[in-house]
Amino acid sequence: MNQTLAKVLYVAGVTTFCTFLGCWAVLAHQENTPSQKQSARRGTGYSDETFIRNAAEGNMAEVKLGQLAEEKAEAPEVKNLAKRIVEDHTRAQEELKQTAQQQGINFPTDISHKDALTYDRLAKLSGAQFDREYSLEMVRDHQKDISEFKRAETSVKNPASKEYALKELPTLQQHLELAQHAQAHVAREGMSKGRAHGASPQR
């Protein structure tokens, strides 16, 4: 009787221990293994559709802001920057439409909400203040665009998307250089005018 009870208790103890050990192993595996969503997110990369839609919205924003700058800009460097941006991004948008159609990707028809807010903010400015803010915006935009297009080179799958990214990168880099030049010019002009206004009158 005592031996039977001892065997039962022994078996129960071993079973409980094994069960605990198994649960611990499962929990440890779950903690060290990324979830399916995390794995999917890391493995997805930058899809063709995301790249194309972002690029399309970017092109439209650059054209719309450039047209605004052609009207409102004061400095010739800023006007020239705006003219070049409008021309290049209009062409790029037409080529991107063909790439999207080939892949059956729904093409956006208007700028993003964020870009619309930027447009409204710049539309309220004029003169040197407009030049300063527009050139600064173009530097920021093109730094972001260059980063996204470089990412697309290695992430998108469709050869047409890759080709578009490779083709447009040098143009975006040229725009960034022009925007930085315009920004530096506007800053110098602002400093010169500030010194002139601050100079004490001659006696």
pLDDT digits (tens, 9 = 90+) for 89-112: 999 999 999 999 999 999 999 999
pLDDT of residue 190: 73
Give the CA radius of gyration of the chain. Answer: 30
The answer to whether domain 46-195 has CATH 2.130.10.10 is: no
**3-state secondary structure string across 119-136:** HHHHHCCCHHHHHHHHHH
* 60-74 pLDDT tens trace: 999 999 999 999 999
Fill in the amino acid letter for 71. E
Measuring CA to CA, how many Å separate 67 from each of 80, 82, 87, 110, 163?
Answer: 11, 7, 10, 15, 28
